[in-house]
């Protein structure tokens, strides 16, 4: 399938997924309904699309790169990166302080670290489902040195 055919099929499909008419897409982009219809029906734009794709292929880049656009990131990744950027140092400090307090008050002794290293489910908040976190905490509190 050539690029022009893929373009017109994608254009129509993406417009319909948003439940937009050709007129609505035209209003949002500054095009007329007639132009949108001509592009979707392959009466216009076909050769230009083929040429743009040929240039991108020759340069081994995407059309976004050719047009100077960056690719979109998944929203989840953007949120995670923002959280890390905003809270990364603070979370690291909180985690470090919590571990230090836990060791200092004897709830978790350094000797336990070696034993727990082989039993990851007892130190992970959700574990593998075989043991709840509260059971693991209760067991650690009742053990004698």
With a cut of 50, say whether residue 37 has pLDDT above it.
yes
Q: Which of 23, 61, 22, 60 is nearest to 41 (CA)?
A: 22
Mean pLDDT of the chain: 76
Domain map of the chain by residue range? 3-66, 74-105, 106-145
Mean pLDDT on 33-41: 94
Distance of alpha carbon 128 from alpha carbon 113, whole angstroms: 19
Are 113 and 140 a contacting pair, CB within 8 Å?
Answer: no
Q: Which of 48, 27, 22, 20 is nearest to 37 (CA)?
A: 22
- pTM tops 0.95: no
Distance of alpha carbon 6 from alpha carbon 131, whole angstroms: 52
Q: What share of the chain is helix, strand, coil (3-state, %, to 5)?
A: 70, 0, 30
Mean pLDDT on 18-31: 94
pLDDT tens digits, one per residue of 93-133: 888 787 777 767 766 666 666 666 665 554 444 444 444 44
Q: Which of the residue ranges 40-44, 54-58, 94-98 would you say has the lowest mean pLDDT?
A: 94-98
Q: What is the pLDDT of residue 112?
A: 65
Q: What is the pLDDT of residue 16?
A: 94
Show the tokens assigned to 55.
């240039």
Q: Which CATH superfamily is domain 3-66 in?
A: lambda repressor-like DNA-binding domains (1.10.260.40)
- The packing angle between helices 33-41 and 22-29, to 10°, is 110
Mean pLDDT on 63-90: 76
Q: Which residue has the tokens 């809270």?
A: 87
pLDDT band at residue 1, thresholds of 50, 70 and 90? low
Rounded to an integer, what is the distance from CA 65 to the centroid of its chain? 20
With a cut of 90, say whether residue 38 has pLDDT above it.
yes
């Amino acid at each position: 399938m050539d690029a022009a055919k893929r373009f017109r099929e994608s254009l129509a499909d993406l417009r319909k997924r948003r439940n937009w008419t050709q007129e609505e897409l035209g209003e949002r982009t500054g095009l007329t309904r007639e132009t949108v219809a001509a592009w979707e029906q392959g009466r216009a734009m076909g050769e230009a699309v083929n040429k743009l794709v040929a240039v991108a292929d020759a340069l081994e880049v995407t059309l976004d790169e050719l047009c100077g656009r960056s690719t979109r990131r998944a929203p989840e990744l953007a949120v995670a990166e923002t959280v890390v950027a905003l809270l990364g140092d603070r979370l690291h400090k909180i985690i470090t302080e919590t571990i230090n307090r836990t060791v200092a008050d004897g709830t978790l002794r350094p000797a336990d670290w070696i034993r727990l290293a082989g039993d990851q489910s007892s130190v992970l908040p959700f574990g593998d489902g075989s043991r709840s976190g509260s059971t693991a905490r209760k067991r650690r509190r009742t053990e004698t040195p």
